[in-house]
Structure formats: structure tokens, C-alpha cells
Amino acid sequence: MTGDTPDTVTDEVVASLRGTADPRLRELLTGLVRHLHAFARESRLTREEWERAVGFLTATGRMCTDTRQEFILLSDVLGLSMLVETVNDRHGPGTTQSTVLGPFHMTESPVRELGADIDLVGGGEPCVVSGRVLSRDGTPLPGAVVDVWQADGNGFYDVQRPDVQPAGNGRGLFTADGEGRFWFRTCVPSPYPIPTDGPVGGLLEATGRHPYRPAHIHFIASAEGHIPVTTHIFVEGSAYLDSDAVFAVKPGLVTDFAPVDDPSAAGGFGVPNPFRHARFDLVLEPS
């Protein structure tokens, strides 16, 4: 029988979980129940508020598609995604800091040759991104895989505007050379708003928050014998570095997209002159 006090209800629900065969699942569900019940007690959650919360989560689920993940977006704007990354970051000092995956790693990046241009639509400021994939002791990692994705010069990902951008625009899967080097051509990313036409946008509006992210490029770097890292590089001087809507900026990831006015260098990279050049090494922790 269900108890007649809030604490008794919580105890009985927790007791019902004791038969859960998987000990980690039992631990997670027990903690979730205790924290959710404590929140409801402390805030004196009303029936109407509970119903609105259920409706909000239902609407969030309905907004999800094969190319949009509204629940990840919700996790991002609540800081939960960044917290999970921080709690689980196993990279030691001197390695590349991790940050959120974001909601737009929804499709596989096309395999591209080193030096390829991932900006298939043009219109943005030309840019070269180059660097190395290294182990923590500085040893190059030949054959490391670098997955890259970014918004176009107008702040949209390919999956957001399939009628304007070809599939795979702003994306590339690169294999580092024998010295661990990678490089590719693109456009300088711009700040952009996360999607606000769904429940998450309504939440931001209700809380008086802006939806903008500073300019950035996403990376996942992996190499045999090492822990993969999910990270960004942020454009130095970009707006919103101090108020990222998903709390993902770390000072060590802010990168100089340096102006270059050198026809010879531009010709070597195959970009117009002048251009921007971002240099960024991805340093992995041995597993």
C-alpha cells in the first residue's frame, strides 16, 4: 500500500527497484527517483505545473527527427551535456579539452582527402584549418581520424537547410598523414542561434536567455590506443564567447583565426588571398 506521506512514497518507490538485476541501472534509477521526489517536495510542485512539464517533454519528443535532436538541445541549454562531458573527461593535463557534441552530429561525415574544401556553397570568408594529432607526450599519431562539422557562413548546418546546402556541406572525415598532420579548407564560421522554433526555444524565451553560440568548428579525434576526444575550436574575438547558450566554451579552445595576406601561401593551400588560418593540435590521452 502506498504511504500517506511524501517521504513514505519515495521509500516505497525505491524499495520497488531492489529487484533490478543490473546494479548500475538500480543505482541510477534509485538516485533519479530520490532527486526527482526531493525536487517535487522542496518546490511544492503543483498538479498544473506537473502537467505542463509532461506536456513540455512530450512536445520535445515530437520535435525530434532523424536530423534534429530536440532532447540533446534541451540537455545542452540546461548545462547537462557540458556537465556530463566534464564528469567523464578522462584526458589528463596537456591534452585537448573536451566539450559538448551538440545536436547536429546527426549524419556521417563524408570521407575526404587531406586539404579538401568542406565549404561546398561558398559565400563565407575563406579559411584553412591545420594541425596535428598527437599523443600526450607529443608523439605524432599517424592515421588518426579527425571528424569535422560546422555551420556555413550564414550559421546553418546542412541538415537545417537541405534545400540550400548539399548533404555533407561543412562536414569531413579526414585521416592524418604519416606525421599526424591534418588540414582542410573551409569558411570562417559565424555565431548562430540554436533552433528556437521548438520547446527549447520557448524555454529560452521564458527565461530571458538568448539562443546564440559563438563561432566554432566541431571535432572528434580518435587514434588507436588513445581515448577519443570530442571538442570545438572557437574563433577568437567571436561574439558570445562569454555567454554561450550551451555553456561549452573553455579558454583553452579559443583559437586565433589569423589573417594571412600572402599570395604564395594562398596558392599553396588553394584558397583566395587573403584568407584566415587556424592552427590547432589535437592531443589525445593514451587509453
> Quick one: pLDDT band at residue 223, thresholds 50, 70, 90?
very high
| 104 has pLDDT over 60 | yes
38 shares its domain with 146? no
Mean pLDDT lowest among 4-13, 140-149, 207-216, 259-268: 4-13
For the stretch 29-82, pLDDT in tens is 999 999 999 999 999 999 999 999 999 999 999 999 988 899 999 999 999 999
Specify if 154 maps to a domain.
yes
Residue 26 burial class via C-beta count within 10 angstroms: exposed 0-12, middle 13-18, buried 19 and up: middle
Q: What mean pLDDT is predicted for residues 185-204?
A: 96
Q: Kindly give, in sequence order, each residue whose CB lies less than 8 Å from that of residue 33, ignoring residues fewer than 6 positions away.
A: 10, 13, 14, 17
Q: What is the pLDDT of residues 235-264, one digit of tens each?
A: 999 999 999 999 999 999 999 999 999 999
In this structure, of 100-109, 178-187, 270-279, the range with the lowest mean pLDDT score is 100-109
Residue 246 belongs to some domain of the structure: yes
Residue 120 and residue 172 in one domain: yes
**Has residue 69 been placed in a domain?**
no
Residue 137 to residue 274: CA distance in whole angstroms: 35
Question: Which pLDDT belongs to residue 243?
Answer: 97
How many domains, in total, are found in the chain? 2
Domain that holds residue 29: 1-45
* Average pLDDT, integer, range 171-187: 98
Q: Is the pLDDT assigned to residue 1 strictly greater than 70?
A: no
Within 8 A by CB and 6+ apart from 231, the residues are 96, 97, 98, 99, 218, 219, 220, 221, 253, 282
pTM beyond 0.85, yes or no: yes
Strands 275-279, 126-135: pairing is parallel
β-pair type (216-222, 229-235): antiparallel
**Interatomic CA distance for residues 271 and 277, integer angstroms:** 11
Percent of the chain with pLDDT over 90: 89
Q: Are residues 122 and 224 in the same domain?
A: yes
Q: Which domain CATH number covers 163?
A: 2.60.130.10
Peptide bond into 274 cis (omega under 30): yes
Both 190 and 243 in one domain: the answer is: yes
pLDDT band at 106 (very low <50, low <70, confident <90, very high): confident
How many Å apart are CA 193 and CA 266, to the nearest integer? Answer: 31
Distance CA 131, CA 140 (A): 11
Domain identity same for 18 and 120 = no
